[in-house]
Amino acid sequence: MWIRRVVIGLVLFTAATVWQNWRLGLTIAILAMILDAVYRSKTMGLIPAAVRVTVAQRMTKRRLMWTRPSGYLALHARAIPGTESVIDHLVVGPAGVFAIDSERWDRRLPVRNVATTSAAGPILYHGPYSQKERLAHARWEAAQAANLLSEELGTEIRVRPAMVIYGPAIPWDIATLRGVDVFTGRKVGSYFRRRTQAPDSHQLTWDQIGDIYEAAGRALPPL
């Protein structure tokens, strides 16, 4: 957004400078950038936050393209019918089905997993803020996808929840926290390579991958 805004300002500045002088060019460029910012703020306010495509989602989408040669197919920004929730990425491949949540967090705050006495396991923290509810929501989205796919295909389909984080450094490689695989965006490719080789992965045939992928397209409508 800012790159687009600066480019517009530079074009207008150059044109007005050639036409009149640099002072007029600077004034027009600044006014254009302000008007663009006001327009963007108003139009973006009309779009529910849940359906906006974020930078993190675009980055994960690009990284998932590199997993296609390994047999992984992805659907992006898929609505869960009857709710306001959106699955950022539903991935189907040799190791099973995955519901991936893409997050971009403040890089200034550290990411930690804190051990607890609860049987549910450690809690994910971003700075002082617990992400327990965020992990619970990721599990819920995966469960909803599993129910919809199972109903569509008439057989039980398992969906594994995962969370990809951009911004702050992640002090681990890939961790499973309260049933959700959590890792940095740089590990998207290696995550699926490991899942393909993991003994607990649900190995799917090419025919099964195609059937589930098509079923997901029907059960989870695009935005």
Per-residue pLDDT tens listing for the chain (223 residues): 667 777 777 887 788 778 878 777 788 878 877 777 766 655 444 444 444 457 889 999 999 999 999 999 999 999 999 998 999 999 999 999 999 999 999 999 999 988 877 777 788 999 999 999 999 999 999 999 999 999 999 999 999 999 999 999 999 999 999 999 999 999 999 999 999 988 877 789 999 999 999 999 999 999 8
CB-count burial class (<10 Å; 0-12, 13-18, 19+) for 195? buried
Residue 74, H or E segment: strand 73-79
What pLDDT is stored for residue 151 in this prediction?
96
What pLDDT is stored for residue 35 in this prediction?
77
Choose among 93, 47, 103, 97: nearest CA to 73.
Answer: 93
What pLDDT is stored for residue 200 in this prediction?
78
Token representation of residue 64: 């998932």
For the chain, the maximum distance between any two Cα atoms, rounded to a whole number of angstroms, is 72
What pLDDT is stored for residue 44 in this prediction?
46
Choose among 34, 30, 35: nearest CA to 22.
Answer: 30
Residues whose CB is less than 8 angstroms from the CB of residue 76 and which lie 6 or more positions away in sequence, other chains included: 57, 61, 88, 89, 90
Taking the C-alpha atoms of residue 39 and residue 46, their distance in angstroms, rounded to an integer, is: 11
pTM reported for the whole predicted model: 0.75
What pLDDT is stored for residue 175 in this prediction?
93
What pLDDT is stored for residue 129 in this prediction?
92
What pLDDT is stored for residue 72 in this prediction?
96
Fill in the DSSP letter of residue 110.
-
